[in-house]
A and B are shown apart, each in its own frame.
Chain A
Amino acid sequence: MGRAAVTVEQNGKRQQPYGTGTRAQRTVRMLIRDRYLYFLALPGIAFFILFKYVPMWGLIIAFKDFSPYVGMWQSNWVGFEHFRRFFGNDDFYLLLRNTLAISSLNLLLFFPAPILVSIMLNEVRHRVYKRVVQTVIYFPHFLSWVIIAGISFIMLGQADGVINGILETIGLEKIPFLTSPSLFWPMLTLQNIWKDVGWGTIIFLAAMSGIDPTLYEAARMDGAGRFKQIFHVTIPGIRNVIMILFILKLGEVMDVGFEQVFLMGNAAVSNVAEVFDTFVYRNGVLNGEFSYTATVGLFKSIVGLVLVVTANKLAKMAGQDGLY
C-alpha cells in the first residue's frame, strides 16, 4: 500500500481534486472515495511485491558465501569479496568486450533492420502480397535457437556444409565459418536478423497504421514523392516508438542471449564467444558458485539500469517522450 499512497500524493499535488487540508488528509479522503478501485488493484500489487520485489532479497547472496545446505540466512557474510574477485579477474575485460561488441552489433545492424523492412512493407500496395510476405518473415521467430543452431551447422560446416560444398564446386577455398573467431560476431548478428526481423516489424507497422492518412494526402498535394513522404511523414510518425524501443534495448545491452551464444560457441572461438551469461552458466550452474554468479548478475542489472535511466534523460533533454 505504501507505493499506492505515494502515487496518490503525486496525483493530489498536481490536480488537487480532493478539497483542502493537509496532504495526508487529502490522501486519506481520496483512498476512501476510490476504495473499490484500490481493492481491484490489490492482487496486482501483491503479485509484484511477492514475485518481483521479495525475490530481490536473494541478491544478498552476492555479499555472502552462499551454501544451499545451510541456507541463505545462515551463510557467512563476505562483503565485497566476490566483486573483488570478479573485477580482478583477467577474464572480466574479455567478457565485457565480447558482451558489448555483440550487443553493439545488434543495436547497430539488427535494431534498424525491422524499421527498414516495415517501411518497405508499408509502401507495398498489393494487400495479399504484403500479407504473405509478413507471414513468411514472421515464421523464423517461432523456431528455437536449438533448431537455428542446427540449421547453421548444416549450412556452414566444413566437411559437409552446404555453403562450403558450393564454394568447393566453384573452385574456391573452404571457409571454417564456425571456428573462425573473426566471423563469430557477424554470424550472430545475421542469425538474429534472420530470426527476428519479421517479428520486429509488427510494432512498427502498427505505429505506421496509426499515422493520420490526411498527412500523406497533404504531402502529396504539396508534391512530395514517395521518398519525401517516407522521410517527412512515416519516419517522424514512428519516431516515438523507435525511441522507446531503443531505450528498452539499451537496458538489455548486457543480455546477449545465452542460448544463441552458448549453442554457436565452441572452444575454437571461445575468446570471442565467452560472455557474462555463459560465464554465469559455467560457474554458477555447473560449478555451484551461486554467490559469485549472483555478483555477476547484479553487475549486469546495474549497468542495464544505469543505461536505461541515462538514455531516458537524454531523450527527454532532446525533447522526445521518454519511457516514463
Chain B
Amino acid sequence: MKSKLPYSAGKLSLILLSFALAGGALLSACSQNSDGSDASGSPSAGASASASASSEPPTPISIMTTFFGDEPPGPDNVVIKEIEKRTNTKLNITWVSSNSYNEKVNVTLASGDFPDLTLILDNFAQNVRTMAAQGAFWDLEPYIKDYPNLMEYPQEAWDNSRYQDGKIYSIPRVRGLDTGMVAVRKDWLDRLGMEPPQTTDELYEVMKAFTTGDPDGNGTADTVGLVGYISADGLNLGSFNSILNTFQGANGGWKIDGNGNLVNMTTDPSTKEALAWMRKAYEEGLIHKDFATLKNTQAREIVMAGKAGVNFEPVSGSWVMTEGVRKIDPQGDMLPLVSLTNPKGEQYVGKGIGYYGTFVIPKTVSEEKMKKILSFFDYGASPEGYELGAYGFADVHFTKDGDFYQQTEQAKKDIVSTSAFGQVFTRFNKYAYAVAPNVSTDYYERSKGIIDQISEISVSDPTNGLYSETWSKYRNEWLKKTTDLQVKIILGSVSLESWDDYAAKLAEDTNWIKSIQELNDAYKTKKGQ
C-alpha cells in the first residue's frame, strides 16, 4: 500500500503521483510520446552508445527496481537483450514486487552494499538523508549536463529532488508535474444550464444544484454535490485537502510570504474560512454523509454510480470516473477543472513534484562506470530508448495510433510494458496525467489542453526536500490533531469557534515555532546553493 510511505510535506503530490503510476503503468494500454521536442539529440545518444559497443566489453550494471503485475521479465527477455546490445551493458536486475518495495530497499540500503542503480521511493526518508549526508551516493549535478535526454527532464523535477545541502544525489523517476485537482460532472452542468465553476463560491452553487436540482433527471433527489475521503492514516483531510489549500492559496499548507519567509497556513484565518465553507456544505447536505469513513476508491465508485457530481481527484482519475459513469449514463463526463479561485481572489491549483521515487548510484562505483550508468539511463530517456523499454518492438509488441500505443498479445507474453522495464526507463511527458487506459481521443485531447492551462498557474509546495528535526519528530502528532478537529468541525460535532482556540494554541507551541524556524533555515540553505 503506497499510503504507508513515511510522508514528506508534499504528501498529496506523492499520492497523486502514485495514481499516475498505477493508472499509467498497470494497464499500459497507451502512452504519449512528445515527439518533435528533441528529435535530434536523442538518436545521436543512442548511436554513440551503440558505436562504443564494437570496441569495449559490455559494462555490467546491477539494478534494483519495482514492477507491477504477476511476474517480472526474466534475464533472457528479448527486449532486455536488445537494450543490453544497444547500450553495450550487461544488466543484472533485481525485480521487487511493488507491495514490499519499501521494506526491501530499506534493508538493502542498511546493508551498505546496494546495486549500481537503486530505486528509492521515498528519497527524503530519514535513512536515505543520513546516507546522502555521509556520502554514500554520487553527487550527480556536475555530470548530468552532458546527457541531453536527462536534461529534458523538467528542471523542477531535478530541483525537487535536491537534498538539504542543495545537491542532486539521485535521478528522479519522472512523472507529470501538473496533476489537476478537481473534476465536475459536465453533463449535469449542461442539463442544469450552469457553467463550470471557477471560484469556490461558484463551486458551492454547483454543489447545491447537484444536490437539490435533480441533475440526473430521474425525478428523485438521490444525488449529492461533493464526495471525497479522509486520508486513511488520519494525517490530512485527504481529497478535502485541496479545498483547504485552495482557500490558503498554498500547496501543502506552506507558503512564501512577502518577506521571503516560509509560513504555515494552518494558523492562518484562511484555514478557518475553508472549514466554515465545508461545514456549511455538510450541514446543507451538499457533501456525502459518509465522507469521514469513505476510502479513495469508494468515493470514486459513488461518482461512477451517478450519485455525486464533484470529486477532488487528479486529471488521471477524472477519466477513470468518466469511464465508470458512462456505463450507466453514456453522456456522463467528469470535466477536470483548471483551477479554483478563493474568496481572496487567488487562483489556485496544486502542482506535483514531478517524480515518484529516485535512482541513486553508490559512491563505491568508479567515476568511469558511473558515467556509463548515466549514459545507459540517458538512453532510456530518449524517445527511442523509452519506446523500446516500455513498449518493445514496433509491430511485434505494439502498434501505434497517433499518440497511443496498442499492445499486442506478444507483448503480454514477453512481459514488455510500462509495468516492467518501463519502471527503469522513464521519459518526461508533460501530459502524463491525461493518459489513462482506454481514454477516448477527444477526452484525451481536452485533458491535454486543460493541463496546458494548469501548467501556467500551478503552485508547488515550497517545503519539498526540506528537513527539520523538530518538525519530523512532532509532525504526525500535530497533523493528527489538526485533522481530527477539522473533521469534527465539518461534521458539526464541535463548534467552528473551537478552531480559533486550537490555532492560537498551536501558534504559541514552542516546538511548532521551532519547527517553522528550522524549516525556514533549511529553505534558505537550500535556496542559497
Contact = CB atoms under 8 A, between A and B. Distances in A.
Nearest to A264: B293
Given A69-B110, A286-B6, A268 B491 contact: yes
A287 B476 contact: yes
Contacts of B99: none
Interface string A138-180: 0000000000000001000111110000000000001010110
Contacts of B4: 285-286
A282 interface: yes
A84 to B, nearest CB: 14
A281 to B, nearest CB: 9
A291 B486 CA distance: 30
B516 interface: no
Given A270-B480, A287-B6, A282 B126 contact: no
B6 A69 contact: no
Contacts of A289: 473
A157 B486 CA distance: 21
Interface stretch (B76-84, B149-157, B284-292, B310-318): B284-292
Interface SS of chain B:
helix
A67 interface: yes
Which range contains the number of A residues in contact with the other chain?
A: 20 to 34
Contact of B289 (A153, A159, A270, A288): A159
B6 A267 contact: no
B290 A157 contact: yes
Interface string B290-324: 10110000000000000000000000000000000
B3 to A, nearest CB: 9
Given A157-B289, A283-B476, 8 more contacts: A67-B130, A153-B290, A157-B290, A160-B290, A265-B234, A268-B488, A270-B234, A289-B473
Pick the 7 closest A-B CB pairs, nearest first: A267-B487, A158-B289, A270-B484, A159-B289, A287-B476, A69-B130, A266-B292
B397 to A, nearest CB: 38
B290 A288 contact: no
A171 to B, nearest CB: 18
A91 B474 CA distance: 13
Interface in B478-499: 480, 483-484, 486-488, 491, 493
Interface SS of chain A:
loop
B7 interface: yes
A204 B475 CA distance: 48
A179 B293 contact: yes
Interface string B218-238: 000000100000100111000
Contact of B131 (A69, A158, A270): A69
B292 A178 contact: yes
Interface of B: 4, 6-7, 106, 109-110, 125-127, 130-131, 224, 230, 233-235, 288-290, 292-293, 472-473, 475-477, 480, 483-484, 486-488, 491, 493
Contacts of A174: 289
A70 B129 CA distance: 13
A286 B3 CA distance: 10
A43 interface: no
Interface of A: 67-70, 91, 153, 157-161, 174, 176, 178-179, 181, 265-268, 270-271, 282-283, 285-289
Given A158-B290, A267-B483, A268-B292, A286 B234 contact: no
B487 A266 contact: yes
Contacts of B486: 267
A33 to B, nearest CB: 47
Given A69-B110, A266-B487, A267-B234, A287 B130 contact: no
Contact of B487 (A69, A161, A268): A268
A268 B488 CA distance: 5
B292 A267 contact: yes
A68 B292 contact: no
Given A67-B130, A157-B290, A157-B293, A288 B6 contact: yes
Given A266-B234, A288-B6, A178 B472 contact: no
